[in-house]
Amino acid sequence: MNNQYYSKLIFELSHEGRRGYSLPDNEFKEYDLASMPQNLLRQQEPDLPQVDELTVVRHYTNMSNNNFGVDTGFYPLGSCTMKYNPKINEEICAMPAFSGLHPLQQENTVQGALEVYYNLQRSLAEISGLSEFTLNPYAGAHGELTGLMIMRSYHMSRNDSKRTKVIVPDSAHGTNPASAAVCGLEVVVVKSRPDGTVDVDDLQPLLGDDIAGMMMTNPNTLGIFEHDIAKIAQLVHDCGGLMYYDGANLNPMLGKCRPGDLGFDIMHINLHKTFSTPHGGGGPGSGPVGVRAGLEQFLPNPRVKRTEGDDWYQYSIENTDSALGSISSFLGNFAVIMRAYTYILTLGRENLAQVGPLATLNANYIKESLKDCYELPLKGVCKHEFVFDGLKDKSTGVTTLDVAKRLLDYGFHAPTIYFPLLFHEAMMIEPTENESKETLDAFIEVMRKIAHEAATDPELVKSAPHHTPVRRLDDTKAALKQIVTFAELRQAEL
Ligand SMILES: Cc1ncc(COP(=O)(O)O)c(C=O)c1O
């Protein structure tokens, strides 16, 4: 239970002269100050809250209690895949040998870190069936952009400059067309069939000598395996295009099926999704990009290389004359790389192959247990996630948003809502492989309870949440009129 007083804004807890710290004497002598650029010197005291130590600790502890995370409760957020993050990952990546590294250190002082980087490149290549990886991109969307730049560089290297279009299914995640547009490519949309998979008949007429390639995720964003993938890859290759795999949905494939074997040429992996690392609010992430044999020279700089002799090996950071140059500062987001490597080593080859089947089992268990209360537009077995199209009984006017808000009252994070865009009341649920049957049962029970409430007392659901620190927000206003500083809040209150 949060304390009302300490839940106030930290500036409201401020009292003139209160201190929760002591600092050593100012070591800057007069001459130091004189030698500094005068415009950088502070002219007056900063306007900071003046609070004692206990107030600070209680304020922030109260604030953290208002937060929801993977350590707080079940997080069925489809597509964004917030999965279990073993604490060993945190311990390893926080070790001073890793956390204290500086990107400008000499190569011979960071051989261990480069070995981690190199080994993860190799592991991802093996897991995905591709030839080589860069770990430099910072997120899935950044990986997509990098991958599309590789695609464009490949065509340009063959003087094939008229390939300016990228095919994207109508079920695609929004970042796919956005990345293509940022890369200067034109987006062509291919329709889905009623079963949710790409309509091959709709695809065929789109193919021609202006197609740079096609972006797909498999299983797609509806959690359905694209069973025509080999045929689709063949058609795209026959017209001279390349296949791009959006690896955000790699989870159910792990150890069972490799994008490289399905005909994909370029892909990214969301390390923060498939290989743990809690993320949210824009970070932290890592979107390594892999390519099939023959495309390695298009990967961005810098690259980590291993050289070996009879009884020695060493790692080096190299820059090639890659057309892409560099797409990030240094070697990417090392802490996420470290967590992913720890996760892969902790699981090992055998357990990694259990991830897909368990994630699939969990998703199907929830789907089958709720399909009598929630509208299931696509029947049959799903992979790691699935989509309901809102409540089955729509007569009460209770929407997907209302159900999502009511879930918060019961201590569950909401699923992804209103995506994919193919269904009006989309509610996308992804339980991930690590959840226990008891957790899934508790979620199912609450979802059934909410469906019952919607039928018997719709206002209760429509006005939810009732028990959260902040009640229902005006999402549009929150997005358009952001208040992120105390000064802005003061301004808004005037
Ligand atoms: C299918 C799919 N593709 C791409 C992305 C983009 O990944 P990121 O959020 O790391 O940029 C997401 C993330 O939500 C996704 O679900």
Q: Is the CB of 416 under 6 A from ligand 1?
A: no
Full set of structural domains in the chain with CATH: 10-51 (no CATH), 88-346 (3.40.640.10)
Ligand 1 pocket, 273 CB below 6 A?
no
> Whose C-alpha lies nearest to ligand 1, atom 8?
140
- Kindly report the three-state secondary structure assignment for every residue of 148-186: HHHHHHHHHHCCCCCCCEEEEECCCCCHHHHHHHHCCCE
Beta-bridge partners for 190: 169
What is the model's pLDDT at position 281? 67
Query: Using CA atoms, how far apart are residues 148 and 473, in angstroms rounded to an integer?
Result: 37
**How far is residue 244's CA from residue 266's CA, in Å, rounded to a whole number?**
5
Region label for 281, one of left (φ > 0), alpha (ψ between -120 and 50) or beta (otherwise): left
CA of 173 to the centre of ligand 1 (A): 7
Tell me, what amino acid is at 328?
S
Mean pLDDT, each 10-residue run in order, the chain (494 residues) = 85 92 77 82 88 95 87 89 87 94 94 97 97 97 98 97 97 96 98 95 98 97 95 98 97 93 97 88 87 97 96 95 89 95 95 94 98 96 96 97 97 94 95 95 98 98 93 86 83 76
Q: Which atom of ligand 1 is nearest to the CA of 172?
A: 1
State the distance from the centre of ligand 1 to the C-alpha of 124, rounded, in angstroms: 18
Beta strands in 85-135 (DSSP E): 132-134
Taking CA atoms, 433 is separated from 169, 225, 354, 396, 473, in Å, by 27, 17, 8, 34, 32
- Name the β-bridge partners of 283: 280
Structure tokens at 320: 């090639």
E strands in 277-421 = 289-291, 303-308, 313-318, 386-389, 416-417
Q: Rounded to the nearest whole angstrom, what is the distance from the C-alpha of residue 185 to the centroid of ligand 1?
A: 19
Ligand 1 in reach of 79 Cβ (< 6 A): yes
Q: What is the DSSP letter of 207?
A: -
Question: 193 CA to middle of ligand 1, Å?
Answer: 23
The pick from 75, 79, 417 for probing ligand 1's pocket by mutation, whose C-beta has the most ligand atoms within 8 angstroms, reads 79
CA of 203 to the centre of ligand 1 (A): 24
Ligand 1 site, residue 223, Cβ cutoff 6 A:
no
Beta strands in 191-237 (DSSP E): 211-216
Tokens, residue 398: 């209770």
pLDDT computed for residue 133 by the predictor? 98
The ligand 1 atom nearest the CA atom of 249? 1
The ligand 1 atom nearest the CA atom of 221: 1
Is there a contact between 163 and 212 (Cβ–Cβ < 8 Å)? Answer: yes
Residue with CA closest to ligand 1 atom 14: 80
Asked if 173 contacts 221 with a C-beta cutoff of 8 angstroms, the reply is yes
Q: Which atom of ligand 1 is nearest to the CA of 79?
A: 16
Burial letters 34-72, b for 16+ CB under 10 A, else e = eeeeeeeeeeeeeeebebeeebbebbeebeeeeeeebee
* Minimum-distance ligand 1 atom for the alpha carbon of 217: 1
Q: Which of 279, 340, 347 is nearest to 116 (CA)?
A: 340
Phi, psi dihedral angles at 240 (to 5 degrees): 95, 5
pLDDT at 132: 97
Q: What is the pLDDT of residue 2?
A: 78
Whether 175 is in the pocket of ligand 1, judged by its Cβ within 6 Å, is yes
